[in-house]
Amino acid sequence: MKYFKKHHLLFTVILIGTLALDQLTKVWVTNATNLPIQIIGNFFRIIRTENTGIAFSIPIPQIILIPLIILIIILGLNSLRKEIQFEHPIALTSIAIILAGALGNLLDRLRLGHVIDFIAVGKFPVFNVADTAITCGIALLFLKWKNLKMR
């Protein structure tokens, strides 16, 4: 039981921490008056954009997009549930940051009707902390997949 609680605490702290970081950075960018901020010349900047589409700003109406995001989260977690040892710290961390990223962007869509993106790197589409969390969580799962298999 102690093991179970310890891992639930890890999952909860990572999820809430990542979600809080995402939402706080979006509030900061929304209220910032000194944008854009040049970090490394024109290559790495902090700017503010509103993304009404999905990945890479591909346009999809919100009425379709929000249920689609929720469905993908549910199906994805259900699929992973059958394949991964969720008590493993790497699995917990991966799932927590993926879920936090998905929830962060979903909260924006429900609250604002768009996602706030602000990290601009080169010619890559502008992204945010939630996008980074999703990408890192998926990459971490793929890197450690063999070690996390149940069967």
Residues with a known catalytic role: 117, 131
The phi and psi torsions of 35 (rounded to 5 degrees) equal: -90, 150
Residue type, 144: K
Contacts of 71 (CB under 8 A, 6+ apart): none
- Per DSSP, the three-state class of 53 is coil
- Closest by CA to 132, choosing from 121, 123, 122, is 121
Query: Exposure of 88 by Cβ count < 10 A (0-12 exposed, 13-18 middle, 19+ buried)?
Result: middle
Cα 60 to Cα 54, 64, 76, distances in angstroms: 7, 7, 20
